[in-house]
Amino acid sequence: MTRYALTRCAVAAFATLAFVPLTLAQTKPPAAKPAAPATAPDPTAAEFDKFREVLEEDNPAELFEAKGKELWFAKRGPNSASLEKCDLGLGPGVVKGAYVRLPRYFADVGKVMDVERRILHCMVTLQGFKMEDLAKQPFSNPNRTPDPVSLVTYVAGQSRGMKIATPMSRPEERETFEIGREIFNYRAGPYDFSCATCHGEDGKRIRTQPLPNLTKPAEAIRAYQGWPGYRMTGGVMHTLQWRMNDCFRQQRFPAPDYASDTITALLAYLAVNANGQVYKGPGIKR
Amino acid sequence: MGIRTASILGAAAAALAAAFSATAGDPSTAAQEMIKRDFKPRGIATIDRVNQDGVQTLCNRTHDKPPKDIAERLEKDQLAGIQWPADGKLLGDWKAGERVAQSGRGFTWSDKPGVTGGSCYNCHQIGPNENSFGTVGPSLYQFGKTRGFGADMQKYVYGKIYNAKAYNLCSLMPRFGHVGALTEKEIRDLVALLMDPGSPVNK
């Protein structure tokens, strides 16, 4: 990506950040009656959707996609190997269309894996990296983007415009989906929250943040759409591994392990619910 | 500040909840085993938080639609556990209540112990000057004005904030007093925010 494109990205991101408070201030004061019914269009959410559309033309996520591509083909790690032999489910080295067919069952490990977990598996088995090193600081901050994040972004970009077709033919895949559904609905912790507390109904918001109903296909896609995503808050690239982790933080739970079965099960549940919808590629988030 | 255990639940209620607990080999059991394996304590978020108490167990097992008679018994138990102010005063300072309502802090692994707000605006429309409000819960704007300022309504609001599950067992709302998230004073101030005729909520 050129320096010009980089600058345009920065300008676009800055413009959005500056514009957000303005929009909030312009929101109409609440009328002297209960809030609008859940089915009415949400003007605040509509405004943010407009920004997202504008920003997607110059999404900084492209930078991470490019970085991920570089990493995929580079000879790295103790084994000085590339990831070109990594099997993401469609055969060694096939990246195109792999993302929209994950999570899936992998016979070589006897497990269902999501995209990030599978990439980690390849980094360990092909390149010789150690899982404990990769899991040490798995999430991005403004100063550091872990390699798996860029790799996930690259792989996701290779499914842009394709229909989500998460496989459910294996018993292991169906079981993972069902466990994911249970975890999604599992209320516990000091606030009695489950994922469904916030994401089980249509048209709800926390503050001004719209909450997709992740139990329905047309809305579950919103959890998939835009991830991995460039997050304007903090200006960092994040994957769904981070998103799930931070949801559990807000759910007042203890911390889930990175790339754990729990996260794979949840992602399988979300992905299957989004089946049939078109994936637009790495996105941009507030 | 930990979660207060469900000790107020009688043995009978616990047994009722247990009757709804999972059998080995089903997705629910597998999910709970997975959660126990995969979660680790962090900051103030202790590992016991992944365990369900009696109310959570029943709501989880029935997808928030518990049988009416069992729900009523558990609601009664929850109601019995509410600690009402000794002096009977339920109306505090609405200005302080607005600050409690605004704060979404508390109980996450990135929060400090003892710093907890009501997170009210996360889910409810309340005062007329806050446009950034959630819609998971009903609007509370004009609460006292439309429902009356009487003593019974004051008591209901105090009790509902202290333990929402005493009134609707599988309510989405946290049990702020029950788990020690809000103090008696903070709940009184929130009652005032909704119930004081001078509060902007009722203008």
Per the structure, the complete domain to which residue A78 belongs is given by: 3-18+42-285
DSSP assignment of A155-188 equals HHHTTTTEEP-----SHHHHHHHHHHHHHHT--B
Given this model, what pLDDT does residue A216 score? 80
* Side chain identity, residue A124: V
Interface of A with B in 146-175 (CB under 8 A): 175
Contacts of A92 (CB under 8 A, 6+ apart): A84, A85, A86
With CB atoms and an 8 Å threshold, state whether B39 touches A256. yes
Residue A35 lies in a domain: no
With CB atoms and an 8 Å threshold, state whether A197 touches B136. yes
> Of B35, B38, B107, which has the smallest distance from its Cβ to A191's Cβ?
B107
Distance of CA A64 to the CA centre of its chain: 14
For B106, nearest residue in chain A (alpha carbons): A252
pTM across the whole model: 0.85
Report d(CA A160, CA B100) in Å as an integer. 45
Residue A94 lies in a domain: yes
Given this model, what pLDDT does residue B19 score? 53
Three-state secondary structure call for residue A17: helix
- Provide CATH 1.10.760.10 ranges for chain B: 94-202
Annotated catalytic residue A247: yes
> Of A30, A181, A183, which has the smallest distance from its Cβ to B141's Cβ?
A30
Helices A3-26 and A61-73, axial angle in degrees (round to 10)? 140
Give, rounded to a whole angstrom, the gap between the first and last alpha carbons of chain B.
Answer: 37
Give the residue carrying structure tokens 């949801």: A247
Find the angle CA(A230)-CA(A235)-CA(A239) to the nearest 5 degrees. 35
Given this model, what pLDDT does residue A45 score? 67
Mean pLDDT of B155-170: 98
**Chain A contact for B25 (CB, 8 A cutoff):** no
**Chain A contact for B7 (CB, 8 A cutoff):** no
DSSP A139: S
Contacts of B137 (CB under 8 A, 6+ apart): B123, B124, B172, B173
**Chain B contact for A136 (CB, 8 A cutoff):** no
> Do A193 and A247 meet the contact criterion of CB atoms below 8 Å apart?
no
β-strands A209-211, A204-206 pairing: antiparallel
> Do B173 and B80 meet the contact criterion of CB atoms below 8 Å apart?
no
Number of domains in chain A: 1
Kindly report, residue by residue over B163-182, the tens digit of the pLDDT: 999 999 999 999 999 999 99
| Cis check: omega of the bond before B27, within 30 degrees of 0 | no
> Do A38 and A203 meet the contact criterion of CB atoms below 8 Å apart?
yes
**Chain A contact for B47 (CB, 8 A cutoff):** yes
Report d(CA A31, CA A109) in Å as an integer. 57
β-strands A111-113, A104-106 pairing: antiparallel
**CATH at residue A204:** 1.10.760.10
Given this model, what pLDDT does residue A52 score? 66
> Do A281 and A56 meet the contact criterion of CB atoms below 8 Å apart?
no
Kindly report, residue by residue over B17-46, the tens digit of the pLDDT: 555 554 557 999 999 999 999 999 999 999
Percent of chain B whose pLDDT exceeds 70: 88
Question: What is the CATH number assigned to the segment(s) B94-202?
Answer: 1.10.760.10
Tokens describing residue A99: 């993302």
Given this model, what pLDDT does residue B201 score? 98
Residue A36 lies in a domain: no
β-strands A226-231, A104-106 pairing: unpaired
Residue A149 lies in a domain: yes
Which residue has better confidence, A4 or B149?
A: B149
Kindly report, residue by residue over B91-135, the tens digit of the pLDDT: 999 999 999 999 999 999 999 998 999 999 999 999 999 999 999
With CB atoms and an 8 Å threshold, state whether A198 touches B142. no
Residue A77's alpha-carbon distances to A29, A65, A122, A129, B202, in angstroms, are 57, 20, 11, 6, 65
The three-state DSSP-derived secondary structure of chain B is CCCCCHHHCCHHHHHHHHHCCCCCCCHHHHHHHHHHHHEECECCECHHHHCCCHHHHHHHHCCCCCCHHHHHHHHHHHHHCCCCCCCCCCCCCHHHHHHHHHCCCCCCCCCCCCCCCCCHHHHCCCCCCCCCCCCCCCCCCCHHHHHCCCHHHHHHHHHHHHCHHHCCCCCCCCCCCCCCCCCHHHHHHHHHHHHCCCCHHHC
β-strands A282-285, A226-231 pairing: parallel
With CB atoms and an 8 Å threshold, state whether B174 touches A183. no
Return the residue in A174, A252, A262 with the most chain B beta carbons within 10 A, the one to mutate for interface testing: A252
Q: Residue A279: in which H helix or E strand, if any?
A: strand A278-279
Rounded to a whole number of angstroms, the distance from the CA of B119 to the nearest CA of chain A is: 10
With CB atoms and an 8 Å threshold, state whether A254 touches B47. yes
Q: What is the ipTM of this complex?
A: 0.90
- The pLDDT profile of chain A, 286 residues, written as one tens digit per residue, is 333 343 334 434 433 333 333 333 333 333 334 444 444 566 666 776 776 677 666 788 999 999 999 999 999 999 999 999 999 999 999 999 999 999 999 999 999 999 999 999 999 999 999 999 999 999 999 999 999 999 999 999 999 999 999 999 999 999 999 999 999 999 999 999 999 999 988 888 888 888 888 888 777 787 778 899 999 888 899 999 999 999 999 999 999 999 999 999 999 999 999 999 999 999 988 7
> Do A258 and A138 meet the contact criterion of CB atoms below 8 Å apart?
yes
> Do B191 and B85 meet the contact criterion of CB atoms below 8 Å apart?
no
Residue count (chain B) = 203
As beta bridge partners, residue B42 has B45
Which residue has better confidence, B3 or A141?
A: A141
Taking contacts as CB-CB distances below 8 angstroms, the residues of chain A near B122 are 206-207
Q: Residue A119: in which H helix or E strand, if any?
A: helix A115-125
Interface of A with B in 18-37 (CB under 8 A): 24, 27-30, 32-35
Given this model, what pLDDT does residue A214 score? 83
